[in-house]
């Protein structure tokens, strides 16, 4: 942590990158991994009180939600030591749908021949004029699949 920074300051870009790098180095995640959240794990009140009293900064930690192999994981990275300190699968939980997944869904829908035919029947031939808005179906997701309605 930089000198003079407050213990509750959000993670800076370098800390986010280091947290992701620590998880990647410690776990074999494959290419289809998504880092859904990377945020500061706030120190507890006792650590903050000690910081105020003695000037000792509490450990800087990043909390992450990672979607890998179709499963949601929670991770904790100790940024002072650049190491993954906790990793757990969260059974029965689906991580939030990310912006890149929405973008990928739009590309997939626009590539579908049936969708293009339906548009053509309605006189729409320029797909640049079409926006596909995908919504997560929430708790109705099936197993390891990520399901949305476009």
Report field, pTM of the whole predicted structure over 0.85: no
Cα 120 from chain centroid?
37
- Residue 73 sits in a domain whose CATH number is 3.10.450.40
Q: Is residue 134 part of a domain?
A: yes
> For residue 87, what are the CA distances in angstroms to 20, 99, 104, 107?
13, 24, 28, 33
Mean pLDDT, rounded, for 30-53: 89
Q: Is residue 8 part of a domain?
A: no
pLDDT of 5 strictly over 90: no
Band of pLDDT at residue 20, cut at 50, 70 and 90: very high
At which of 51, 70, 89 does a domain end? Answer: 89
Question: H helices within 5-61, ranges in order?
Answer: 13-26, 45-54
Q: Which residues contact 123 (CB under 8 A, 6 or more apart)?
A: none
Q: Is residue 38 part of a domain?
A: yes
User: What SS3 state is found at 19?
Assistant: helix
Looking at the fold, whether 32 and 68 belong to one and the same domain comes out as yes
Q: Is residue 118 part of a domain?
A: yes
- Quote the pLDDT of residue 144: 63
Looking at the fold, whether 66 and 116 belong to one and the same domain comes out as no
Looking at the fold, whether 85 and 110 belong to one and the same domain comes out as no
Q: 107: domain range?
A: 99-149
Q: Is residue 1 part of a domain?
A: no
């Amino acid at each position: 942590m930089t000198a003079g920074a407050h213990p509750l300051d959000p993670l800076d870009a370098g800390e986010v990158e280091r947290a992701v790098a620590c998880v990647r180095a410690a776990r074999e995640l494959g290419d289809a991994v998504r880092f859904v959240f990377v945020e500061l794990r706030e120190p507890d009140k006792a650590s903050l009180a000690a910081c105020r009293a003695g000037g000792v900064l509490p450990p800087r930690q990043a909390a992450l939600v990672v979607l890998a192999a179709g499963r949601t994981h929670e991770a904790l990275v100790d940024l002072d030591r650049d190491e993954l300190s906790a990793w757990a699968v969260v059974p029965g939980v689906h991580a939030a749908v990310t912006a890149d997944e929405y973008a990928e869904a739009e590309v997939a829908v626009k590539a579908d021949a049936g969708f293009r035919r339906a548009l053509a029947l309605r006189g729409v031939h320029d797909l640049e004029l079409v926006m596909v808005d995908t919504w997560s179906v929430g708790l109705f997701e099936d197993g390891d699949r990520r399901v949305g309605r476009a």
